[in-house]
Amino acid sequence: MKRIATIQDFSCVGRCSLSVALPIISAAGIECCGIPTAVLSNHTGFPTFFKHDLTDCMNSFADKIFECGITFDAVYTGYLASASQIGIVEGFIERARREDMLVIVDPAMADDGVLYSQITPEHAEKMRQLCALADVITPNVTEACLLLGEDMISQPTGGDIRLILSELVKTGAKNALITGVEQDGKIGAAAFDGSEFFGYFTEKIPLRCMGTGDIFASALTASLVNGNPLKTALERAVTFVGKAVSSTYSDPERRFYGVNFESVLADSAGLLK
């Protein structure tokens, strides 16, 4: 069985980060090994939360994992709370590196033109260095501009997206992908593999949900590790997120803190394989 190490935070309540990566990757028939960067009582979209930072534990986690001879088919990173955590993750990737191992980086730093709390210029610079190690990066438009040191673009055109993707690949990542791209009233993702631009879009549902980027990145990673080309993995991840958001929208008891991905996971597991 293939194995993925995913390095990001865990919220006891709220569908994001490890809370979605673990079930989605597992449903794809892949062993998912969660390496937590922090544990939260609930994610930061709630009015209040408690957070226990695990930066001081991360190298110890890695030491014991590698002492046991455990190997990975991919390392997938999500939200990292500090520049020092990014440096630790770079070291983990280098220790785990072997032939054909994939590195997928979701450079979670901002959204809708607004930086997450605790994101500093040093953090952004370290994230650029981490992205240079990646086979695939999955920023949203705001994060893509931040990685390039460019002004935020609120409503990018197709030409803007292609230019941003071209510049992202020049920074070192083998493949660049931008999430949350809107086109002709639809929403999805666009990508550039160094030679070809492509994308996939689905119906835009009038519902704003936290965690869609985490669901997308987890589905994309699972599909890639299962051997699908990037174009296929992108289409399947967009489709999966669309199904989950649609299910959430139709639920009269939906909760503000996440997407009802569980309701479509069983029926959509084949998308990830």
Calculate the CA 114 to chain-centre distance. 18
| Residue boundaries of the structural domains of the chain | 3-253
Per DSSP, what are the bridge partners of residue 132? none
pLDDT above 80 (res 117): no
Whether domain 3-253 has CATH 3.40.50.720: no
Per-residue pLDDT at 182 exceeds 90: yes
pLDDT band of residue 262 (cuts 50, 70, 90) is: very high
**Average pLDDT of every residue of the chain:** 95
Q: Name the least confident of 55-59, 119-123, 129-133.
A: 119-123
Q: What is the pLDDT of residue 113?
A: 79
Residue 100 backbone zone (phi > 0: left; psi -120 to 50: alpha; other: beta): left
Dihedral sign (CA 175, 70, 91, 23): positive
pLDDT: which is higher, 118 or 78? 78
Average pLDDT value for residue range 194-206: 96
The whole-number pLDDT of residue 81 equals 87
pTM here is 0.96
Alpha helices in 39-116 (DSSP H): 55-67, 83-96
Residue 209 reports pLDDT greater than 80? yes
Q: Which residue type, as a one-letter code, is found at position 118?
A: Q
Q: Which residue has the tokens 């997450």?
A: 116
